[in-house]
Amino acid sequence: MEILEQMGADAPEIPRFDDGMVNLRELIRVMAEALVNEIMDAQADDACDEGNQRNGYRERTLVTSVGPILLRIPKLRWGTFFPEDLLVRYSRVDRAIIAAVSEMVTSGVSTRKVERVAYTLGIDRMSASQVSRICESLDEVVAELQGRTFEGMRFPYLWLDATYVKCRGEGRVSSTAVVTAIAAGEDGYRRLVGLDAIDTESHLGWKSFLVSLRERGVEGVLCVTSDAHEGLRRAIEEVFPGAAWQRCIVHLERNAAACAATRSQRGAIFSILHAVFAEKDAALVRELYHLACEQISGFCPKAATLLEEAEADALAYLDFPYAHQRRLRTNNVQERANREIKRRSRVVQVFPSRKSLIRLVGAVLSEMDEDWQEKRWFTEASIAEAYEKPEKRRPAPKPTYEGSAAEHAARIIELVLSEGRAA
């Protein structure tokens, strides 16, 4: 009683039974709900001491031994707040797996392995209404993720990729392409800006996906990094005219090595190209690239031709601020997201429907997107340089090698070749 009195006018009314007796179970539930929300408010206020601001609440129901309590978790203007010392962060992904496996079990298409997973997750004890509620809440999260808009925000850098997951549709199992778009905003944070399942063999499929990004406010794109898919490249040129296209150098190295006839040739191509892209000085990288093409043409003309044709797109990252180049030249940010999608989807093996697939991928990426908001990828001062003319940017570090870039490049290539011959 004293605790409620200390809480003042905002204290909830003491719950009672019809005969006037205090309902102790409900009283404990009400007190727990009020106390936890007060603690979270105080913690959020402390987080705002560093210049941040409160930005409303998000509600979550937590089932306890005294009944469900409604948690009003404070939202912050920048970053995220979660009371780790009060609650265990719930996983949308695990709920998405439960929903997908439940659908497989009820459809009679599950394997013995999936049935074991279902049992571990407690699906044998879940009712249809529980699964329905899980799906409904997750579908709302995914719909918000796919439909959110970005007015007033420019995105200088965009990374695009597709990953393939087996999914049942039209009476057969096929490999379905899930495409994602991750962007760096002018505030320095990464964001998931696009998610869908499309026909990646079609130029129109990619174009429709990119148009949807533009319609939701993805503007100001200066550079797009992706693999060298012809339909995707055409779509980028049409939807984001004027943006540079950076061909992922990791994929380029693999494509070049695939042209080789023997294992030793593939190893030589990897070693030479690794030496090229290990350097950071722009002039040196360009000289090395030219020498690499010359050396590779001696034992694999097909790979050399591929590299010569790809030069402008492979080295596009060198035209952007020095501090951004390492992240622009590869699609690593997408590769990490795809690995997490694969890891989580491996539990389900074959998704029973396209909707269940999108639900799981959306849950995975929603949690990753929240984590990204806790730390800037680029500082605001650094990302602002993307829109400045080269002469106004901070200069790149001066070269540490002696002589000209061409001379040093020749020494590096000779060292790589000599190590290859020794091996």
Give the range among 29-38, 121-130, 138-147, 277-286 with minimum mean pLDDT.
Answer: 121-130
pLDDT of residue 65: 60
Residues in the chain: 423
- In the block, tokens 């003309």 appear at 301
pLDDT of residue 295: 93
Residue 363 to residue 264: CA distance in whole angstroms: 43
pLDDT of residue 349: 77
**C-alpha angle 276-406-269 in degrees, rounded to nearest 5:** 30
pLDDT in tens, 177-207: 899 999 999 999 999 999 998 877 788 999 9
pLDDT of residue 251: 94
pLDDT of residue 24: 82
pLDDT of residue 3: 46
Query: Which residue type is seen at 126?
Result: M
Q: What is the mean pLDDT of residues 266-282?
A: 94
| Whether residue 159 has pLDDT greater than 90 | yes
**Helices (runs of H) and strands (runs of E) counted in the chain:** 16, 7
| Dihedral of alpha carbons 296, 301, 302, 306, sign | positive
In contact, 231 and 206? CB cutoff 8 Å: yes
Residue 225 to residue 320: CA distance in whole angstroms: 13
Three-state SS for 55?
Answer: strand
Higher pLDDT, 304 or 419: 304
pLDDT averaged over every residue in the chain: 83
pLDDT in tens, 211-253: 999 999 999 999 999 998 889 999 999 999 999 999 999 999 9
| Whether residue 90 has pLDDT greater than 60 | no
| Whether residue 105 has pLDDT greater than 60 | no
Give the range among 21-35, 130-144, 277-291, 329-343 with minimum mean pLDDT.
Answer: 130-144
How far the first Cα of the chain sits from its last, in Å, is 81
Crossing angle between the packed helical segments 230-239 and 203-215, to the nearest 10 degrees: 30
| Whether residue 66 has pLDDT greater than 90 | no
Tokens for 319?
């035209």
pLDDT of residue 30: 85
